[in-house]
Structure formats: structure tokens, C-alpha cells
Amino acid sequence: MNRPLSGVRVIGLEQYMAGPYCTLLLADAGAEVIKIERPGRGDPRRAMPPFAEKNGIKKAAGFMGYNRNKKSIALNLQTIEGQQIFRDLAAKSDVIVENLRPGAMDKIGLNYDNLCRANSRLIWALISGFGQLDGYRGPYSNRPAFDIVAEAMSGIMHQVGFADKPPSWTIYGMADIYTGMVTAYGIMQALFMRERTGKGQLVDSSMFDNMLSLNESMVALHSVAGQSPARGNPKVLFPRGAFKTKDGYIALNVPDNIIWKRLCKAMNRGDMIEDARCTTGVERAANADYIQPIIENWLLYLTREEAVSKLNDCGVPTGPVNTAEDIFSDPHVQARGLLMTIKDHEVGEYEFARSPLFLSDAPNIPTNPAPSLGQNTLEILTDLLGYSETKIEALGQSGIIDSQNKPMTTPKN
């Protein structure tokens, strides 16, 4: 039985996180993903710590985790010959995913407008900081961006942290990961439309757009109520946040009066249900200084496990604030198979996060390790493009391709 995207060929003009995570999802879904990398260097994440190391070979954890189930071709796109190889690949592919600096491919004439002429079914997903689709370009469209920039400009950072502290970012790469997921969703839409029309199209995915859409609650609150949510200053609901127990923290959220009554009963504080300071979310938020110490004092006599069990039994959805060690030992994580074991014959066996969706009628996700730089160059040029041995040898000698079948190593300090 095939995975959902078996038979779909994807070219990854990708680096760092957003593009690679998008194509990771497609590869896990069964697509053949061919990652294009610079000869000699490859994706910059190949050289970013931390590293798995064995027998003098070093591989970057971030690269290993985001590039499983892919192929690698090392190709110099700054040469006429390299550009022709890319055109040949595009003519035989279904999807191209690009997250290079805006305009990088335009400068060498390798963009959707040019390549769709030879392959009208081609879908080109263009990931950028601020959007590239003609007719929807804004004053920021030519800017480069990293994840933290998108978090800041979308209003998310303004809401993360405490009122007496500077704005804070969420987790490293949040905007990249979410953009990768949204882009994969856009590609699925384009593939579905192609089944109806026979034509491909450009998928324009902006990190800023994606994070603003993720911040929909801020938009709605400001639009409807004129409010501007700020960090550490709840206005419409409380309690919400991390609360300390005897041995760690739990996450607690009380969005309505139903959950509030259940929390009060769990704490044996039925008197607070009708307390004028606690009757609505707005009142509870205004009186957080009164309510929070009561919850904290109650929790100080309970362990995380005891608090989570008691609250969930009372109908208050609650969970522990887990560390990495907690995740790796969590029985639910193990039962769901959320950590994939990837065996790399050069640096060993490691676990990485599984793609989050399960399909009842699809086989398990493959577990091929991330490719070494140029590992599949010969295979792709020979089997897919039909290049002769003589031509491939000439391309290699001129530095247009790299067909080394060993991992890229990084110098030791």
C-alpha cells in the first residue's frame, strides 16, 4: 500500500527550516523529495550544532531531523549548465518548494513564470517573509526574514511574557514550522485543484501572513471589542497559565464558568463560585491577585501527577509542563509512537518527532535518514534525467555537480 503522496515528485530549493519542514511533511506523506544543495557546503543547517558524532563524522541534529526521507543533489545553480539541469528536473516534477531570499531565483531566470511554460502542471510553493504574489505585494515584500521577525511583526511577541518584562519569543523556529505546515496545506490544495483543471499554480506563503492568521484572537478582540491584548495582563479570563506544584508546574486554563465551578469544587472552595469577585471571566481577571494565591497554596500540597489526576477527574483539562526528559519517558508519547527512531549507519540511532497526523488506511511513515550531501546526484542524473556517464563526469570535473557519497563533515574546534 502506498502513502498518500506516492508518485508525487517534489524539488526542494530550501534551506534552514521553513522549506525543509514543508518538504519533510511531503516526504513523510510519501512524496519523492529531491533536495537541491550547493556543492561543497549544502544546506547551512548541516554545519549548525548540536552534532551527532561517531568515528570523526559529524552530522547536525537540526539537519537530521528536518531532512529524513529525502534525496540530495549537489548542484551549482550559478552556472548555465546547472540551470539547465534544474530546468530538466522541473520538467519532470510536480512541485517545487522555494524558501530562498526573495528574488534569488528571478535573477537567474528560474522562476515559476518561466518554468511553467515547459510544465503547465507544475506547482511552485514560494515561501518568503512577507509575500511575493503579484497584485498582493506590500512595502515589506523584498525584505528577508527570520522566525522571530514574523513573531514580532504579527503581534505575537507583544503578548508573550510578563507585563514588567520585555516582549519574548515563543519557541525557536515557531514561525518557520507553522509556515512549513501551512505551505504543505497550500500545496495539497493546489494538487487537488490540478486534478480538476490539469494546471499547476503558484502557492504564495508568507511567514508574516501565517503568524498573523495564527494570532486571530488578537485580531478579533481588537476588531470587536477595541482591545489590544498585552502580555501578563489578562482582561477577559482567568486563571490561565503555569501554576507551581510540589515538584513542578502544571498548565491551567479556565475559559468559562463551567470549568470555574469544577475547579472550585476540586479545591473544596465552593464559596468562590458565587463570590462577586469570581462570577465572570472579566471579574476573575480583574481580581487575579486575590484568586492566584488561593490556587497556588492549594497546589503546593500536591505533586504534578496528583494535581493533574485530581483536576482531570473533576473535568478541568490540565497537563504537566513537561521537560524534554518528561517527553521521552511519557507513556502516551510512547503509545502513540510520536518519537520516530531513525537509524543512520554512520552516526548511530536517534529519535525525532513524528509528523503529527495518523491515517487509518495508510502505511507507516518511512524512516530513511537524512541524505549526505550529493548522495543521490548520480542516481537522479542517470535514472531520472537520462544523462550519459560522459556528461556526468564532465559536470563533476567542472564543479557543477557534486556526487560525493559521504556526509558533509564540519571542522573540529
Q: Which residues are catalytic?
A: 176
Cell output for 56: 570523526
> What is the C-alpha to C-alpha distance for residues 200 and 203, in angstroms, rounded to an integer?
9
At 245, is the secondary structure helix, strand, or coil?
strand
Tell me the residue type at 43: D
- B/e letters for 313-341, b = 16+ CB within 10 Å, e = fewer, are ebebebebebeeeeeeeeeebeeeeebbe
Bridge partners of 96?
A: 11, 124
Calculated CA dihedral for residues 214, 220, 221, 227, nearest 10 degrees: 100
For residue 343, the cross-strand partners are 349
The three cell numbers of residue 57 are 563524522
Distance CA 229, CA 235 (A): 8
End-to-end alpha carbon distance in the chain? 47
d(CA 15, CA 6): 24
